[in-house]
Chain A
Amino acid sequence: MVTAIIITIALYALLTVYLGFRANQGSLDNVNDYFLASRTLSSSHLAVTTMATWFSTFAFLGAPGFYYSKGFAWGMAIIFYVFVGVLLLWFIGRKLWMVAREKGYITPAELLVDFYNNRTIGYITALISILSLIPYVLIQVVAIGKVIEGSTDGFVSYEVAVVVAGAVAAFYVFLGGMRAIILTDWIQGILFAGVIVISAIVTIYASGGFVPGIENSIAAQPDLFVMDPDNMGFTMSLAFSWMLGFILLPHLWQRTYMAESAQAYTKSIYYQAIITVVLITGISITGLLSIGLVDGLEDSDKLVPTLFSTYIPWAAPLLVLATFAAGMSTTDSQLLTVSSVFVRDIIHPITKERLEKHRGKMISRYLVIALVGFITILALLPESQGPIVLLASKGIGIVVLLLIPLIGPLYWEKATATGAIWGMLSGFSFQLAYEFNAFELPYSFGAPIPSLVIGLIVLFLLSNLSSRKEGAVI
Protein backbone atom coordinates (compact mmCIF):
# COMPACT_ATOMS: atom_id res chain seq x y z
CA MET A 1 0.00 0.00 0.00
CA VAL A 2 2.84 2.40 0.87
CA THR A 3 4.38 1.80 -2.57
CA ALA A 4 1.02 2.45 -4.25
CA ILE A 5 0.65 5.75 -2.35
CA ILE A 6 4.16 6.91 -3.27
CA ILE A 7 3.68 6.00 -6.96
CA THR A 8 0.29 7.78 -7.06
CA ILE A 9 1.72 10.97 -5.54
CA ALA A 10 4.76 10.86 -7.84
CA LEU A 11 2.58 10.44 -10.96
CA TYR A 12 0.31 13.24 -9.83
CA ALA A 13 3.30 15.55 -9.21
CA LEU A 14 4.63 14.79 -12.69
CA LEU A 15 1.23 15.54 -14.21
CA THR A 16 1.03 18.96 -12.52
CA VAL A 17 4.55 19.80 -13.70
CA TYR A 18 3.54 18.80 -17.25
CA LEU A 19 0.46 21.06 -16.98
CA GLY A 20 2.76 23.87 -15.86
CA PHE A 21 4.75 23.44 -19.10
CA ARG A 22 1.53 23.36 -21.15
CA ALA A 23 0.24 26.53 -19.50
CA ASN A 24 3.58 28.26 -20.07
CA GLN A 25 3.32 27.63 -23.83
CA GLY A 26 -0.03 29.42 -24.05
CA SER A 27 0.82 32.32 -21.75
CA LEU A 28 1.58 35.96 -22.57
CA ASP A 29 4.57 37.88 -21.26
CA ASN A 30 2.85 40.29 -18.87
CA VAL A 31 1.63 40.40 -15.27
CA ASN A 32 -2.05 40.58 -16.24
CA ASP A 33 -1.72 37.16 -17.86
CA TYR A 34 0.53 35.72 -15.15
CA PHE A 35 -1.76 36.74 -12.25
CA LEU A 36 -5.23 36.75 -13.84
CA ALA A 37 -4.94 34.66 -17.04
CA SER A 38 -5.66 37.91 -18.96
CA ARG A 39 -9.23 37.97 -17.50
CA THR A 40 -10.38 35.37 -20.01
CA LEU A 41 -11.96 32.75 -17.75
CA SER A 42 -15.12 31.01 -18.92
CA SER A 43 -17.93 30.23 -16.47
CA SER A 44 -16.82 26.62 -15.89
CA HIS A 45 -13.12 27.51 -15.41
CA LEU A 46 -14.03 30.28 -12.98
CA ALA A 47 -16.44 28.10 -11.00
CA VAL A 48 -13.95 25.21 -10.72
CA THR A 49 -10.92 27.33 -9.80
CA THR A 50 -12.92 29.25 -7.15
CA MET A 51 -14.33 26.08 -5.61
CA ALA A 52 -11.00 24.22 -5.71
CA THR A 53 -9.30 27.18 -4.07
CA TRP A 54 -11.99 27.75 -1.44
CA PHE A 55 -12.35 24.10 -0.35
CA SER A 56 -8.98 23.24 1.17
CA THR A 57 -7.94 20.06 3.03
CA PHE A 58 -10.29 21.23 5.77
CA ALA A 59 -13.35 20.59 3.56
CA PHE A 60 -13.13 16.83 3.55
CA LEU A 61 -10.91 16.11 6.55
CA GLY A 62 -11.97 18.75 9.08
CA ALA A 63 -15.58 19.52 8.15
CA PRO A 64 -17.11 16.01 8.52
CA GLY A 65 -15.02 15.65 11.68
CA PHE A 66 -16.52 18.82 13.10
CA TYR A 67 -20.03 17.47 12.45
CA TYR A 68 -18.95 14.28 14.21
CA SER A 69 -17.51 16.05 17.27
CA LYS A 70 -19.64 19.21 17.55
CA GLY A 71 -22.87 18.24 15.80
CA PHE A 72 -25.29 20.82 14.44
CA ALA A 73 -23.60 23.77 16.17
CA TRP A 74 -21.00 23.34 13.44
CA GLY A 75 -23.34 22.02 10.74
CA MET A 76 -25.44 25.18 10.52
CA ALA A 77 -22.28 27.31 10.49
CA ILE A 78 -20.78 25.53 7.47
CA ILE A 79 -24.10 25.61 5.60
CA PHE A 80 -24.38 29.34 6.33
CA TYR A 81 -20.88 30.42 5.41
CA VAL A 82 -20.62 28.46 2.21
CA PHE A 83 -24.07 29.31 0.83
CA VAL A 84 -24.18 32.98 1.88
CA GLY A 85 -20.60 33.29 0.63
CA VAL A 86 -21.84 32.30 -2.84
CA LEU A 87 -24.62 34.94 -2.62
CA LEU A 88 -21.95 37.59 -1.91
CA LEU A 89 -20.50 36.88 -5.35
CA TRP A 90 -23.56 38.70 -6.68
CA PHE A 91 -23.97 41.44 -4.07
CA ILE A 92 -20.25 42.32 -3.78
CA GLY A 93 -18.27 40.32 -6.36
CA ARG A 94 -20.28 41.65 -9.30
CA LYS A 95 -19.20 45.22 -8.55
CA LEU A 96 -15.57 44.18 -8.04
CA TRP A 97 -15.58 42.45 -11.45
CA MET A 98 -17.13 45.50 -13.16
CA VAL A 99 -14.61 48.02 -11.83
CA ALA A 100 -11.56 45.75 -12.19
CA ARG A 101 -12.44 45.10 -15.83
CA GLU A 102 -12.71 48.83 -16.50
CA LYS A 103 -9.62 49.97 -14.58
CA GLY A 104 -7.37 46.93 -14.99
CA TYR A 105 -6.92 46.15 -11.29
CA ILE A 106 -4.95 43.05 -10.28
CA THR A 107 -4.92 43.26 -6.46
CA PRO A 108 -7.54 44.32 -3.88
CA ALA A 109 -5.37 47.24 -2.73
CA GLU A 110 -5.33 48.89 -6.17
CA LEU A 111 -9.11 49.37 -6.09
CA LEU A 112 -9.02 50.88 -2.59
CA VAL A 113 -6.07 53.20 -3.38
CA ASP A 114 -7.97 54.56 -6.39
CA PHE A 115 -11.18 55.15 -4.41
CA TYR A 116 -9.54 56.90 -1.47
CA ASN A 117 -6.65 58.42 -3.48
CA ASN A 118 -4.42 57.38 -0.60
CA ARG A 119 -1.32 55.19 -0.75
CA THR A 120 -1.30 54.30 3.00
CA ILE A 121 -4.54 52.34 2.53
CA GLY A 122 -2.75 50.34 -0.16
CA TYR A 123 0.12 49.45 2.19
CA ILE A 124 -2.25 48.47 5.03
CA THR A 125 -4.34 46.34 2.66
CA ALA A 126 -1.17 44.69 1.34
CA LEU A 127 -0.04 43.99 4.91
CA ILE A 128 -3.42 42.46 5.83
CA SER A 129 -3.35 40.37 2.62
CA ILE A 130 0.10 38.99 3.44
CA LEU A 131 -0.68 38.45 7.15
CA SER A 132 -3.83 36.53 6.26
CA LEU A 133 -2.35 34.40 3.48
CA ILE A 134 1.13 33.34 4.62
CA PRO A 135 -0.14 31.52 7.77
CA TYR A 136 -2.89 29.95 5.63
CA VAL A 137 -0.29 28.58 3.16
CA LEU A 138 1.76 27.31 6.09
CA ILE A 139 -1.23 25.36 7.47
CA GLN A 140 -1.77 23.66 4.08
CA VAL A 141 1.88 22.69 3.69
CA VAL A 142 2.08 21.33 7.25
CA ALA A 143 -1.13 19.31 6.64
CA ILE A 144 0.29 17.81 3.43
CA GLY A 145 3.51 16.84 5.24
CA LYS A 146 1.67 15.20 8.13
CA VAL A 147 -0.80 13.27 5.93
CA ILE A 148 1.93 11.87 3.67
CA GLU A 149 4.18 10.93 6.59
CA GLY A 150 1.24 9.28 8.38
CA SER A 151 -0.11 7.42 5.35
CA THR A 152 3.30 6.01 4.37
CA ASP A 153 4.03 4.93 7.98
CA GLY A 154 6.97 7.33 8.07
CA PHE A 155 8.60 5.88 4.93
CA VAL A 156 8.28 9.37 3.40
CA SER A 157 9.27 11.70 6.22
CA TYR A 158 7.43 14.93 7.02
CA GLU A 159 10.45 16.95 5.92
CA VAL A 160 10.72 15.24 2.51
CA ALA A 161 6.96 15.59 1.90
CA VAL A 162 7.03 19.32 2.72
CA VAL A 163 10.03 19.99 0.46
CA VAL A 164 8.58 17.96 -2.45
CA ALA A 165 5.12 19.59 -2.16
CA GLY A 166 6.70 23.06 -2.07
CA ALA A 167 8.98 22.30 -5.02
CA VAL A 168 6.15 20.94 -7.18
CA ALA A 169 3.86 23.93 -6.46
CA ALA A 170 6.71 26.38 -7.05
CA PHE A 171 7.57 24.71 -10.35
CA TYR A 172 4.16 24.85 -12.00
CA VAL A 173 3.24 28.27 -10.59
CA PHE A 174 6.64 29.61 -11.75
CA LEU A 175 6.05 28.28 -15.25
CA GLY A 176 2.38 28.86 -15.93
CA GLY A 177 1.08 31.28 -13.27
CA MET A 178 -2.72 31.45 -13.11
CA ARG A 179 -3.14 29.42 -16.30
CA ALA A 180 -1.30 26.47 -14.69
CA ILE A 181 -3.32 26.87 -11.50
CA ILE A 182 -6.60 26.69 -13.43
CA LEU A 183 -5.55 23.49 -15.24
CA THR A 184 -4.41 21.81 -12.02
CA ASP A 185 -7.52 23.04 -10.17
CA TRP A 186 -9.68 20.90 -12.48
CA ILE A 187 -7.86 17.73 -11.44
CA GLN A 188 -7.57 18.78 -7.81
CA GLY A 189 -11.24 19.79 -7.61
CA ILE A 190 -12.50 16.55 -9.17
CA LEU A 191 -10.27 14.52 -6.82
CA PHE A 192 -11.43 15.98 -3.54
CA ALA A 193 -15.06 16.35 -4.66
CA GLY A 194 -14.85 12.64 -5.52
CA VAL A 195 -13.58 11.81 -2.03
CA ILE A 196 -16.42 13.81 -0.42
CA VAL A 197 -19.04 11.95 -2.50
CA ILE A 198 -17.38 8.55 -1.93
CA SER A 199 -17.23 9.19 1.84
CA ALA A 200 -20.96 9.95 1.88
CA ILE A 201 -21.80 6.79 -0.12
CA VAL A 202 -19.58 4.66 2.15
CA THR A 203 -21.27 5.96 5.33
CA ILE A 204 -24.77 5.38 3.87
CA TYR A 205 -23.80 1.86 2.80
CA ALA A 206 -22.09 1.01 6.11
CA SER A 207 -25.06 2.37 8.10
CA GLY A 208 -27.52 0.14 6.23
CA GLY A 209 -29.18 3.11 4.52
CA PHE A 210 -29.66 6.82 5.19
CA VAL A 211 -32.69 6.62 7.52
CA PRO A 212 -31.33 3.79 9.74
CA GLY A 213 -28.01 5.66 9.83
CA ILE A 214 -29.63 8.87 11.07
CA GLU A 215 -31.66 6.89 13.65
CA ASN A 216 -28.45 5.24 14.93
CA SER A 217 -26.69 8.61 15.19
CA ILE A 218 -29.58 10.26 17.08
CA ALA A 219 -29.71 7.28 19.46
CA ALA A 220 -25.92 7.36 19.98
CA GLN A 221 -25.48 11.12 20.60
CA PRO A 222 -28.83 12.95 20.85
CA ASP A 223 -27.14 16.08 22.26
CA LEU A 224 -25.29 16.63 18.94
CA PHE A 225 -28.65 17.16 17.18
CA VAL A 226 -29.61 20.07 19.43
CA MET A 227 -28.51 23.69 19.04
CA ASP A 228 -26.88 25.03 22.19
CA PRO A 229 -27.52 28.78 22.86
CA ASP A 230 -24.47 28.91 25.17
CA ASN A 231 -22.19 28.19 22.20
CA MET A 232 -23.90 30.45 19.70
CA GLY A 233 -20.93 32.84 19.72
CA PHE A 234 -18.62 30.13 18.44
CA THR A 235 -21.04 29.10 15.69
CA MET A 236 -21.78 32.65 14.56
CA SER A 237 -18.16 33.83 14.68
CA LEU A 238 -17.15 30.92 12.50
CA ALA A 239 -20.08 31.40 10.14
CA PHE A 240 -19.77 35.17 9.62
CA SER A 241 -15.98 35.45 9.42
CA TRP A 242 -15.66 32.58 6.91
CA MET A 243 -18.65 33.83 4.93
CA LEU A 244 -16.88 37.19 4.50
CA GLY A 245 -13.61 35.36 3.83
CA PHE A 246 -15.21 33.79 0.77
CA ILE A 247 -14.97 37.14 -0.99
CA LEU A 248 -12.42 39.09 1.09
CA LEU A 249 -9.55 36.59 1.18
CA PRO A 250 -7.25 38.20 -1.42
CA HIS A 251 -6.83 35.07 -3.57
CA LEU A 252 -10.64 34.72 -3.80
CA TRP A 253 -11.17 38.47 -4.26
CA GLN A 254 -8.80 38.28 -7.25
CA ARG A 255 -10.95 35.54 -8.78
CA THR A 256 -13.83 37.99 -9.13
CA TYR A 257 -11.55 39.93 -11.54
CA MET A 258 -11.01 37.05 -13.95
CA ALA A 259 -14.28 36.42 -15.84
CA GLU A 260 -14.23 37.07 -19.58
CA SER A 261 -17.76 38.56 -19.59
CA ALA A 262 -20.72 39.30 -17.34
CA GLN A 263 -22.45 36.16 -18.62
CA ALA A 264 -19.42 34.05 -17.73
CA TYR A 265 -19.32 35.65 -14.27
CA THR A 266 -23.01 35.14 -13.42
CA LYS A 267 -23.13 31.62 -14.85
CA SER A 268 -20.10 30.72 -12.71
CA ILE A 269 -22.07 31.87 -9.63
CA TYR A 270 -24.87 29.49 -10.64
CA TYR A 271 -22.40 26.60 -11.12
CA GLN A 272 -20.80 27.35 -7.76
CA ALA A 273 -24.22 27.24 -6.09
CA ILE A 274 -24.85 23.76 -7.52
CA ILE A 275 -21.34 22.51 -6.65
CA THR A 276 -21.61 23.77 -3.06
CA VAL A 277 -25.00 22.07 -2.58
CA VAL A 278 -23.50 18.73 -3.71
CA LEU A 279 -20.38 19.12 -1.53
CA ILE A 280 -22.19 20.38 1.58
CA THR A 281 -24.74 17.56 1.30
CA GLY A 282 -21.90 15.03 1.03
CA ILE A 283 -20.00 16.52 3.99
CA SER A 284 -23.19 16.64 6.10
CA ILE A 285 -24.15 13.03 5.36
CA THR A 286 -20.64 11.77 6.14
CA GLY A 287 -20.40 13.70 9.40
CA LEU A 288 -23.92 12.95 10.65
CA LEU A 289 -24.03 9.24 9.86
CA SER A 290 -20.55 8.72 11.31
CA ILE A 291 -21.85 9.73 14.75
CA GLY A 292 -23.64 6.39 14.96
CA LEU A 293 -21.09 4.48 12.92
CA VAL A 294 -17.67 5.32 14.38
CA ASP A 295 -17.29 4.90 18.10
CA GLY A 296 -15.10 7.04 20.37
CA LEU A 297 -12.77 8.73 17.89
CA GLU A 298 -10.72 11.27 19.85
CA ASP A 299 -9.15 13.18 16.94
CA SER A 300 -12.08 14.15 14.70
CA ASP A 301 -9.70 15.07 11.83
CA LYS A 302 -9.10 11.33 11.48
CA LEU A 303 -12.77 10.55 10.79
CA VAL A 304 -12.54 10.29 6.99
CA PRO A 305 -9.20 8.37 7.06
CA THR A 306 -10.83 5.99 9.59
CA LEU A 307 -13.83 5.45 7.29
CA PHE A 308 -11.54 4.75 4.35
CA SER A 309 -9.26 2.38 6.27
CA THR A 310 -12.24 0.50 7.77
CA TYR A 311 -14.57 0.16 4.78
CA ILE A 312 -12.51 0.73 1.60
CA PRO A 313 -8.83 0.23 2.56
CA TRP A 314 -7.90 -0.32 -1.11
CA ALA A 315 -8.84 3.34 -1.80
CA ALA A 316 -6.24 4.76 0.63
CA PRO A 317 -4.01 6.13 -2.20
CA LEU A 318 -7.01 8.11 -3.49
CA LEU A 319 -7.55 9.71 -0.07
CA VAL A 320 -3.88 10.66 0.29
CA LEU A 321 -3.81 12.01 -3.25
CA ALA A 322 -6.97 14.06 -2.65
CA THR A 323 -5.47 15.52 0.54
CA PHE A 324 -2.30 16.41 -1.34
CA ALA A 325 -4.36 17.91 -4.22
CA ALA A 326 -6.68 19.91 -1.95
CA GLY A 327 -3.71 21.40 -0.10
CA MET A 328 -1.94 22.22 -3.36
CA SER A 329 -5.00 23.83 -4.97
CA THR A 330 -5.25 26.31 -2.10
CA THR A 331 -1.49 26.82 -1.67
CA ASP A 332 -0.71 27.60 -5.33
CA SER A 333 -3.34 30.35 -5.58
CA GLN A 334 -2.24 31.92 -2.33
CA LEU A 335 1.42 31.93 -3.38
CA LEU A 336 0.55 33.67 -6.63
CA THR A 337 -1.61 36.24 -4.84
CA VAL A 338 1.09 37.06 -2.27
CA SER A 339 3.53 37.49 -5.15
CA SER A 340 1.09 39.87 -6.91
CA VAL A 341 0.64 41.88 -3.69
CA PHE A 342 4.43 42.30 -3.32
CA VAL A 343 4.88 43.34 -6.96
CA ARG A 344 1.82 45.58 -7.41
CA ASP A 345 1.25 47.02 -3.94
CA ILE A 346 4.76 47.26 -2.48
CA ILE A 347 7.54 47.15 -5.11
CA HIS A 348 5.71 49.16 -7.77
CA PRO A 349 4.67 52.14 -5.58
CA ILE A 350 8.07 52.32 -3.84
CA THR A 351 10.23 52.12 -6.97
CA LYS A 352 7.70 54.07 -9.09
CA GLU A 353 8.66 51.68 -11.88
CA ARG A 354 6.06 50.32 -14.29
CA LEU A 355 6.21 46.55 -14.02
CA GLU A 356 3.61 45.66 -16.62
CA LYS A 357 5.61 43.70 -19.15
CA HIS A 358 8.40 41.13 -19.10
CA ARG A 359 10.22 42.55 -16.06
CA GLY A 360 7.11 42.45 -13.88
CA LYS A 361 6.42 38.82 -14.74
CA MET A 362 10.04 37.85 -14.13
CA ILE A 363 10.10 39.49 -10.67
CA SER A 364 6.75 37.83 -9.83
CA ARG A 365 8.08 34.41 -10.80
CA TYR A 366 11.18 34.70 -8.64
CA LEU A 367 9.07 35.99 -5.78
CA VAL A 368 7.01 32.77 -5.97
CA ILE A 369 10.23 30.75 -5.59
CA ALA A 370 11.37 32.92 -2.68
CA LEU A 371 7.97 32.58 -0.97
CA VAL A 372 7.99 28.80 -1.34
CA GLY A 373 11.50 28.73 0.17
CA PHE A 374 10.34 30.88 3.10
CA ILE A 375 7.19 28.80 3.72
CA THR A 376 9.16 25.53 3.48
CA ILE A 377 11.68 26.74 6.07
CA LEU A 378 8.83 27.82 8.35
CA ALA A 379 7.09 24.44 7.92
CA LEU A 380 10.30 22.61 8.85
CA LEU A 381 10.60 24.44 12.18
CA PRO A 382 9.40 22.20 15.03
CA GLU A 383 7.20 25.06 16.34
CA SER A 384 5.20 25.06 13.09
CA GLN A 385 3.58 21.78 13.98
CA GLY A 386 2.40 23.10 17.32
CA PRO A 387 1.23 26.44 18.69
CA ILE A 388 2.22 28.53 15.64
CA VAL A 389 -0.31 26.70 13.50
CA LEU A 390 -3.00 27.38 16.10
CA LEU A 391 -2.06 31.04 16.12
CA ALA A 392 -1.90 31.09 12.33
CA SER A 393 -5.42 29.76 11.95
CA LYS A 394 -6.66 32.63 14.12
CA GLY A 395 -4.80 35.09 11.90
CA ILE A 396 -7.26 34.38 9.11
CA GLY A 397 -9.83 36.45 11.04
CA ILE A 398 -7.78 39.54 10.14
CA VAL A 399 -9.09 39.48 6.60
CA VAL A 400 -12.63 40.53 7.61
CA LEU A 401 -11.12 43.98 8.30
CA LEU A 402 -10.86 44.53 4.53
CA LEU A 403 -14.63 45.03 4.47
CA ILE A 404 -14.16 48.37 6.30
CA PRO A 405 -12.44 50.25 3.44
CA LEU A 406 -14.46 48.32 0.85
CA ILE A 407 -17.73 49.85 2.13
CA GLY A 408 -16.68 53.11 0.44
CA PRO A 409 -16.33 51.96 -3.19
CA LEU A 410 -19.29 49.59 -2.82
CA TYR A 411 -21.95 51.61 -1.01
CA TRP A 412 -20.85 54.88 0.61
CA GLU A 413 -19.11 57.57 -1.39
CA LYS A 414 -18.68 59.78 1.69
CA ALA A 415 -16.20 57.30 3.23
CA THR A 416 -12.81 58.97 3.71
CA ALA A 417 -9.25 57.66 3.89
CA THR A 418 -8.96 58.81 7.52
CA GLY A 419 -12.07 56.83 8.47
CA ALA A 420 -10.94 53.73 6.56
CA ILE A 421 -7.38 53.72 7.96
CA TRP A 422 -8.42 54.24 11.59
CA GLY A 423 -11.31 51.82 11.14
CA MET A 424 -8.92 49.06 10.07
CA LEU A 425 -6.36 49.93 12.77
CA SER A 426 -8.96 49.97 15.56
CA GLY A 427 -10.37 46.63 14.40
CA PHE A 428 -6.87 45.17 14.24
CA SER A 429 -6.04 46.48 17.74
CA PHE A 430 -9.21 44.86 19.10
CA GLN A 431 -8.22 41.51 17.57
CA LEU A 432 -4.67 41.77 18.98
CA ALA A 433 -5.96 42.60 22.45
CA TYR A 434 -8.34 39.62 22.32
CA GLU A 435 -5.59 37.23 21.16
CA PHE A 436 -3.37 38.34 24.04
CA ASN A 437 -6.22 37.67 26.51
CA ALA A 438 -6.85 41.30 27.44
CA PHE A 439 -10.57 40.41 27.74
CA GLU A 440 -13.12 37.71 27.02
CA LEU A 441 -16.33 37.85 25.01
CA PRO A 442 -19.66 36.33 26.13
CA TYR A 443 -21.27 33.22 24.58
CA SER A 444 -17.84 32.04 23.24
CA PHE A 445 -17.79 34.81 20.61
CA GLY A 446 -14.52 35.23 18.69
CA ALA A 447 -12.87 38.58 17.89
CA PRO A 448 -13.38 38.98 14.08
CA ILE A 449 -17.01 40.12 13.99
CA PRO A 450 -16.91 42.50 17.01
CA SER A 451 -13.67 43.97 15.58
CA LEU A 452 -15.44 44.51 12.25
CA VAL A 453 -18.34 46.27 13.97
CA ILE A 454 -15.90 48.55 15.86
CA GLY A 455 -14.02 49.29 12.65
CA LEU A 456 -17.23 50.18 10.81
CA ILE A 457 -18.32 52.53 13.62
CA VAL A 458 -14.92 54.28 13.48
CA LEU A 459 -15.20 54.51 9.68
CA PHE A 460 -18.63 56.13 9.98
CA LEU A 461 -17.66 58.60 12.71
CA LEU A 462 -14.32 59.73 11.24
CA SER A 463 -15.67 59.92 7.69
CA ASN A 464 -18.28 62.37 8.91
CA LEU A 465 -15.58 64.43 10.64
CA SER A 466 -13.09 64.47 7.76
CA SER A 467 -13.30 65.30 4.07
CA ARG A 468 -12.50 63.29 0.96
CA LYS A 469 -9.28 63.96 -0.90
CA GLU A 470 -9.59 65.33 -4.44
CA GLY A 471 -8.56 63.22 -7.41
CA ALA A 472 -10.20 59.86 -6.64
CA VAL A 473 -10.39 57.70 -9.77
CA ILE A 474 -13.57 55.79 -8.89
Chain B
Amino acid sequence: MIKDNILTKDKALYRRHTRFFLYSLIYILFMVISMAGILGGEGQEIAGIPLTLFLALGSILYFLFLAMYGYRSLLKPWAEAFDKQSGLKRKK
Protein backbone atom coordinates (compact mmCIF):
# COMPACT_ATOMS: atom_id res chain seq x y z
CA MET B 1 0.00 0.00 0.00
CA ILE B 2 1.20 3.51 -0.73
CA LYS B 3 2.15 5.12 2.58
CA ASP B 4 2.61 8.85 3.09
CA ASN B 5 5.45 9.01 5.61
CA ILE B 6 5.24 12.78 5.96
CA LEU B 7 1.64 12.67 7.18
CA THR B 8 2.28 9.61 9.33
CA LYS B 9 5.18 11.21 11.21
CA ASP B 10 3.99 14.81 11.47
CA LYS B 11 0.96 14.78 13.77
CA ALA B 12 0.15 18.49 13.28
CA LEU B 13 0.13 18.06 9.51
CA TYR B 14 -1.99 14.93 9.81
CA ARG B 15 -4.57 16.89 11.86
CA ARG B 16 -4.69 19.55 9.13
CA HIS B 17 -5.13 16.80 6.53
CA THR B 18 -8.08 15.39 8.53
CA ARG B 19 -9.59 18.87 8.87
CA PHE B 20 -9.19 19.50 5.12
CA PHE B 21 -10.82 16.14 4.42
CA LEU B 22 -13.79 17.06 6.65
CA TYR B 23 -14.18 20.47 4.98
CA SER B 24 -14.12 18.72 1.58
CA LEU B 25 -16.71 16.19 2.76
CA ILE B 26 -19.00 19.05 3.90
CA TYR B 27 -18.62 20.53 0.41
CA ILE B 28 -19.53 17.24 -1.27
CA LEU B 29 -22.57 16.77 1.01
CA PHE B 30 -23.73 20.33 0.33
CA MET B 31 -23.47 19.74 -3.42
CA VAL B 32 -25.24 16.35 -3.25
CA ILE B 33 -28.11 17.90 -1.26
CA SER B 34 -28.37 20.59 -3.93
CA MET B 35 -28.25 18.12 -6.82
CA ALA B 36 -30.92 15.97 -5.15
CA GLY B 37 -33.26 18.97 -5.27
CA ILE B 38 -33.59 19.19 -1.46
CA LEU B 39 -32.11 22.68 -1.73
CA GLY B 40 -32.96 24.90 -4.68
CA GLY B 41 -36.30 23.22 -5.38
CA GLU B 42 -39.61 24.71 -6.51
CA GLY B 43 -40.55 27.92 -4.68
CA GLN B 44 -37.28 28.20 -2.71
CA GLU B 45 -36.28 31.85 -3.10
CA ILE B 46 -34.53 34.61 -1.17
CA ALA B 47 -35.91 38.11 -1.86
CA GLY B 48 -37.45 36.86 -5.11
CA ILE B 49 -34.13 35.42 -6.35
CA PRO B 50 -34.05 31.62 -6.92
CA LEU B 51 -32.05 29.80 -4.23
CA THR B 52 -30.08 27.94 -6.93
CA LEU B 53 -28.21 31.15 -7.80
CA PHE B 54 -27.05 31.49 -4.18
CA LEU B 55 -26.11 27.79 -4.11
CA ALA B 56 -23.98 28.15 -7.23
CA LEU B 57 -22.30 31.30 -5.91
CA GLY B 58 -21.78 29.68 -2.49
CA SER B 59 -20.25 26.57 -4.02
CA ILE B 60 -17.75 28.63 -6.04
CA LEU B 61 -16.79 30.77 -3.02
CA TYR B 62 -16.51 27.76 -0.68
CA PHE B 63 -14.27 26.01 -3.21
CA LEU B 64 -12.04 29.09 -3.36
CA PHE B 65 -11.80 29.00 0.44
CA LEU B 66 -10.95 25.27 0.32
CA ALA B 67 -8.22 25.87 -2.26
CA MET B 68 -6.59 28.74 -0.36
CA TYR B 69 -6.93 27.20 3.09
CA GLY B 70 -5.80 23.77 1.87
CA TYR B 71 -2.78 25.08 0.00
CA ARG B 72 -1.50 27.35 2.77
CA SER B 73 -2.13 25.09 5.75
CA LEU B 74 -1.52 21.63 4.26
CA LEU B 75 -0.31 21.23 0.67
CA LYS B 76 2.55 23.74 0.84
CA PRO B 77 4.08 22.57 4.16
CA TRP B 78 3.61 18.91 3.17
CA ALA B 79 5.40 19.47 -0.15
CA GLU B 80 8.28 21.34 1.51
CA ALA B 81 8.71 18.54 4.04
CA PHE B 82 8.52 15.87 1.31
CA ASP B 83 11.08 17.59 -0.93
CA LYS B 84 13.41 18.19 2.01
CA GLN B 85 13.22 14.55 3.03
CA SER B 86 13.71 13.16 -0.47
CA GLY B 87 16.26 15.74 -1.64
CA LEU B 88 14.03 17.07 -4.42
CA LYS B 89 14.19 20.76 -5.27
CA ARG B 90 11.92 22.92 -7.37
CA LYS B 91 13.68 24.58 -10.26
CA LYS B 92 13.37 28.35 -10.10
Chain A residues proximal to chain B, CB less than 8 Å:
42-43, 72-73, 75-77, 79-80, 83-84, 86-87, 90-91, 94-96, 98-99, 115, 214, 218, 222, 225-229, 232, 235-236, 239, 260-267, 269-270, 273-274, 277, 280-281, 284, 408-413, 474
Contacting pair A411 B1 (CB below 8 A): yes
Q: Are the CB atoms of B36 and A229 closer together than 8 Å?
A: yes
CA distance A412 to B32 in the complex (A): 26
Q: Is the pair B59, A227 in contact by a Cβ cutoff of 8 Å?
A: no
Q: How far is the CB of A461 from chain B (nearest CB, A)?
A: 20
> Shortest beta-carbon distance, A441 to chain B, in Å?
15
A115 to B56, CA, bound (A): 40
Please state if A261 and B83 are interface contacts (CB–CB under 8 Å).
yes
Contact A76/B63 with A229-B41, A261-B89, A412-B1 known, Cβ cut-off 8 Å: no
Q: How far is B70's CA from A369's CA once the two chains are assembled, in angstroms?
A: 42
Assess whether B91 is in contact with A410, with CB atoms less than 8 Å apart: no
Q: Is the CB of B50 within 8 A of A218?
A: yes
Check if A266 sits within 8 Å of B60, measured CB to CB: no
21 contacts between A and B (CB under 8 A): A76-B34, A76-B52, A79-B31, A79-B59, A79-B60, A80-B31, A98-B82, A226-B52, A227-B39, A227-B41, A228-B41, A239-B31, A261-B83, A263-B79, A263-B80, A263-B83, A266-B76, A267-B71, A273-B71, A284-B56, A412-B1
In Å, the complex CA distance between A409 and B52 comes to 39
13 further interface pairs, Cβ-Cβ under 8 Å (given A87-B27, A98-B4, A267-B71) = A42-B90, A72-B56, A76-B34, A79-B59, A80-B28, A226-B41, A227-B36, A269-B75, A284-B56, A408-B1, A409-B1, A410-B2, A474-B2
Cβ of B66 under 8 Å from chain A: yes
Residues of B within 8 A of A (CB): 1-2, 4, 20-21, 24, 27-28, 31-32, 34-42, 44, 49-50, 52-53, 55-56, 59-60, 63-64, 66-67, 70-71, 74-76, 78-80, 82-83, 86, 88-91
Contact of A273 among B35, B67, B78 (CB under 8 A): B67
CB nearest to B32 among chain A residues:
A236
- Shortest C-beta distance, A420 to chain B (Å), equals 14
**CB < 8 Å neighbour of A266 from B34, B52, B78:** B78
